[in-house]
A and B are shown apart, each in its own frame.
Chain A
Amino acid sequence: AQSVSQHNHHVILSEAASLELGCNYSYGGTVNLFWYVQYPGQHLQLLLKYFSGDPLVKGIKGFEAEFIKSKFSFNLRKPSVQWSDTAEYFCAVNRKGYQKVTFGIGTKLQVIP
């Protein structure tokens, strides 16, 4: 079964700093990859997804992620964070041909004004 690792459990940044959240998965075959965001007190929302094609994926609110197959990674980036980006971010993966998704344990991002 596939698994997802998010190594940074809690990240604190000042506004305007650049963000990179790590995500690695363990499955050796082809996969689909997702990032979700959960704002305080709210449900998870899809931020972006990768299925095929250009490994650099752009999502909502200025976020992007790059799929590096050789490193089994799908890191989330944003060039300049805002206080409103304070949230928990979850990486998720499913194997091609399968609908069930496995989530990482999440990274809490705190942006200080």
Chain B
Amino acid sequence: DAEITQSPRHKITETGRQVTLACHQTWNHNNMFWYRQDLGHGLRLIHYSYGVHDTNKGEVSDGYSVSRSNTEDLPLTLESAASSQTSVYFCASSPAGEAYGYTFGSGTRLTVV
């Protein structure tokens, strides 16, 4: 069965370290998205991609970067982790087009100490 997987499920890192969160989907979806979920803020878009080599900034992109070298993967990198980036991170994917809902991964809980 097709799926979207995130790894790791939990991570604790120190302030200033570079961290990469993985997202891998086998749906063959063109679109991929990264969101962070925080109490009182709901889901906020970090970065998104509409296809290979396409990346775009979302509303809270500062301190994060992504790259899309193939259809399946959209890794999210925190260049220099900060305590404000402690959050739950969700990856999502969808087929090209506006008429589809998103398929979400199970999330990564990141703690920056």
A residues lining the B interface (CB < 8 Å)? 32, 34, 36, 42-46, 49, 51, 90, 94, 96-106
Contacts and interface: CB of A to CB of B under 8 A. Distances in A.
Contacts, number: 50
Contacts of A106: 42-43
Contact of B31 (A42, A46, A99, A105): A99
A36 B94 CA distance: 14
Contacts of A94: 98
Contacts of B44: 103
B43 A43 contact: no
A45 B104 contact: yes
Contacts of A97: 98
B97 to A, nearest CB: 7
B21 to A, nearest CB: 14
Given A32-B99, A49-B101, A51-B99, A100 B45 contact: yes
Nearest to A42: B106
The 3 A-B pairs at the shortest CB distance, nearest first, are namely: A105-B42, A46-B101, A103-B43
